Amino acid sequence: MTDSLLPGHPFIAYQDGELCVEQVRLSSLAAQHGTPLFVYSKAAMLSALAAYQRGFAGRQAQICYAMKANSSLAVLQVFAQAGCGFDIVSAGELARVLAAGGDPAKVIFSGVGKTRAEMKQALQVGIGCFNVESTAELDVLSEVACSMGRQAPVSLRVNPNVDPKTHPYISTGLKGNKFGVAHEDAVPIYRHAASLPGLKVVGIDCHIGSQITEVTPYLDAMDRVLDLVIDIEAAGVPIHHIDFGGGLGINYNGDTPPEADALWAQLLAKLDARGFGERQLMIEPGRSLVGNAGVCLSEVLYLKPGEQKNFCIIDAAMNDLPRPAMYQAFHHIAPVQIRKGADTLYDVVGPVCESGDWIGRDRSLSVQAGDVLAVLSAGAYCMSMASNYNSRGRAAEILVDGAQVHLIRERESVFDTFQLEHLPA
Ligand SMILES: *Cc1c(COP(=O)(O)O)cnc(C)c1O
């Protein structure tokens, strides 16, 4: 029996009562490598990427993986080898791209707070574009580039002011958040950018939010951006590429985002209709490339029955899986081996000393202490947001490729976590 837990994701499924990632049983990975343990499917990542590649077939388009979703070197290598560029938000991420064999010319640098040192490093290796988010940043970037005798390729992140209909913390394209420049101000800021000696204007970009499950916000944002391109070019500043950001959602809990190729069929139809079909396009998907390619395995430590709630206490916590605590996010939780018996309703919680340390509420499970659970949809914004809170070492990571198992990150020891600290004599 093969039973896919996530529609559209055949790579994580039960085979004869055993949850597998591709051809590998998760129970054996947990036994061999311990828990908490992140496990990623290479085929699932490449399949998510393939949906975008199909969508852009025959077009001039560059897919830049927004690596903050999952910045592990082996994950970056998978995307670099598949021809992706990278959307980075720090010099640390740039260093990771280079270490993983990524092409700096395909790197775009986003973020509201780039430091001079970060700009310098990015210019030294020759990144493809700086996605600039304010006038002040334009001025500093020009200065830094001039001091190095260079010109920085820039795009301005514009705020199309459309509501992506997602969680407020991951909605970024509305007035009143810190990202991008206001639609109304874009033309004068482009004129200013074009006048600065250290800059070369190459594009325009937007990113309206994350976990977007509808097409309409994208279509609206595209119209707003294309209106601006017309105005900016009329003001004498040519725009070479148009970057529509990332943000496409995944199925966490019955969410029904469009497939990437279906989304882009509609967006490309609009681009064609408005006469922009031949432009160089860029996109910055993060979550949709990795989110449903990963699970986090965790062992049940204790069952704690209570008057109002039963608790299932597991060895993974908010430091490993921060999304429930941060965004009240939902992750499916499934046993890696199906156990016969009646289900009980549990709140699945971690050992961290915070009431916010829950992983799933009111979950119906048939479990005993010692069982291993898989927290699904854990490929994006989990390990990359993991911390050492409560002096917990970060989890190990495995990349599965068919029947092959690669340990891509060792478990962090307690010693690792205090190596950089000093006791005053
Ligand atoms: C986070 C981010 C992305 C990726 O968003 P996803 O929702 O993970 O696709 C893309 N571009 C920018 C500028 C971002 O900040």
Q: Residue 341: what are its φ and ψ, rounded to 5°? A: 140, 170
Give the residue carrying structure tokens 């160089």: 280
Q: Residue 93: CB within 6 Å of ligand 1? A: no
pLDDT above 60: residue 334: yes
Burial of 165 from C-beta contacts in 10 A (0-12 / 13-18 / 19+)? middle
Indicate whether 302 and 254 sit together in one domain.
no
How far apart are the CA of 290 and the centre of ligand 1, in A? 12
Q: Each residue of 99-138: pLDDT tens digit?
A: 999 999 999 999 999 999 999 999 999 999 999 999 999 9
Domain of 346, in residue numbers: 2-41+291-418
pLDDT at 7: 60
Indicate whether 220 and 305 sit together in one domain.
no
In a domain, 49, yes or no: no
- Where is the domain boundary, 262, 285, 308? 285
Q: Each residue of 9-62: pLDDT tens digit?
A: 689 999 999 999 999 999 999 999 999 999 999 999 999 999 999 999 999 999
Tell me the average pLDDT across 303-314. Answer: 96
Indicate whether 365 and 275 sit together in one domain.
no
pLDDT above 80: residue 6: no
Indicate whether 261 and 346 sit together in one domain.
no
Indicate whether 28 and 138 sit together in one domain.
no
pLDDT above 60: residue 3: no
Q: Each residue of 221-258: pLDDT tens digit?
A: 999 999 999 999 999 999 999 999 999 999 999 999 99
What is the Cα 379 distance to its own chain's centre? 8
Question: How far is it, in rounded angstroms, from Cα 396 to Cα 161?
Answer: 40
CA angle 55, 59, 64 (to 5 degrees): 70
Tell me the average pLDDT across 337-355. Answer: 94
Indicate whether 130 and 238 sit together in one domain.
yes
Which residue from 276, 178, 160, 168 is spatially nearest to 218, judged by alpha carbons? 160
How far apart are the CA of 353 and the centre of ligand 1, in A? 31
Q: Each residue of 152-165: pLDDT tens digit?
A: 999 999 998 887 77
pLDDT at 303: 98
- Where is the domain boundary, 285, 318, 342? 285
pLDDT at 409: 98
Indicate whether 226 and 316 sit together in one domain.
no
pLDDT at 1: 39
Question: How far is it, in rounded angstroms, from Cα 138 to Cα 180?
Answer: 12
pLDDT at 177: 73
pLDDT at 163: 76
pTM above 0.85, yes or no: yes
Indicate whether 280 and 300 sit together in one domain.
no
CATH number for the domain spanning 409: value is 2.40.37.10
Which residue from 112, 109, 129 is spatially nearest to 177, judged by alpha carbons? 112
Q: Residue 72: CB within 6 Å of ligand 1? A: no
Sign, Cα dihedral of 228, 233, 236, 239: positive
CATH number for the domain spanning 262: value is 3.20.20.10
Residue type, 201: V
In a domain, 295, yes or no: yes
Indicate whether 146 and 117 sit together in one domain.
yes
In a domain, 12, yes or no: yes
In a domain, 59, yes or no: no
How far apart are the CA of 65 and the centre of ligand 1, in A? 9
Catalytic entry in 64, 146, 296, 353: 353
Residue 353 near residue 390, CB atoms below 8 Å: yes
Indicate whether 170 and 184 sit together in one domain.
yes
Q: Residue 402: what are its φ and ψ, rounded to 5°? A: 70, -115
Give the residue carrying structure tokens 């190596």: 419
Which residue from 312, 384, 380, 401 is spatially nearest to 349, judged by alpha carbons? 312
Which residue from 395, 385, 299 is spatially nearest to 348, judged by alpha carbons? 299
Q: How many separate domains does the chain show?
A: 2
In a domain, 64, yes or no: no
Known catalytic membership, residue 64? no
pLDDT above 60: residue 276: yes
Q: Of the residues 49, 67, 171, 210, which should be mutated to test ligand 1's pocket, given the most ligand atoms within 8 Å of the CB?
A: 210
